[in-house]
């Protein structure tokens, strides 16, 4: 599931529409704010929550995010 903040959805309408078409049920827009994830789950302070939405999509495409997530799993 990929969640996009409502603020990013407004700023990146074209990206939102493309992701909604590609991911269908695995995509949603939520009212999350930057830093919410870090406040709720401290191991996410690896920098993932600081990515802008286009950078997040680029990280997904380049497998960089997979490396960051595997580091986070190692923390647990």
Domain boundaries, the chain: 2-75
Residue 36 pLDDT grade (very low, low, confident, very high; cuts 50, 70, 90) = very low
CA angle 18, 24, 59 (to 5 degrees): 55
pLDDT at 26 over 60: yes
Q: How confident is the model at residue 19 (pLDDT cuts 50, 70, 90)?
A: confident
Q: How far apart are alpha carbons 60 and 49 in whole angstroms? A: 14
Q: What is the pLDDT of residue 68?
A: 67
32, exposed or middle or buried, with CB in 10 Å at 0-12, 13-18, 19+? middle
Task: Spell out the alpha helix ranges (H) of 1-76.
Answer: 6-11, 13-23, 36-40, 53-61, 64-75
Confidence band for 44, pLDDT divided at 50, 70 and 90? very low
Query: Which residues does 25 contact at the CB level (< 8 Å), separation at least 6?
Result: none
Q: What is the mean pLDDT of residues 3-8?
A: 71
């Amino acid at each position: 599931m990929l969640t996009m903040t409502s603020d990013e959805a407004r700023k990146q309408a074209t990206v939102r529409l493309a992701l909604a078409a590609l991911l269908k049920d695995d995509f949603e827009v939520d009212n999350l704010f930057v830093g919410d994830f870090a406040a709720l789950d401290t191991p996410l302070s690896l920098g993932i929550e600081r990515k802008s939405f286009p950078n997040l999509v680029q990280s997904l495409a380049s497998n960089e995010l997979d490396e960051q997530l595997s580091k986070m799993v190692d923390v647990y």
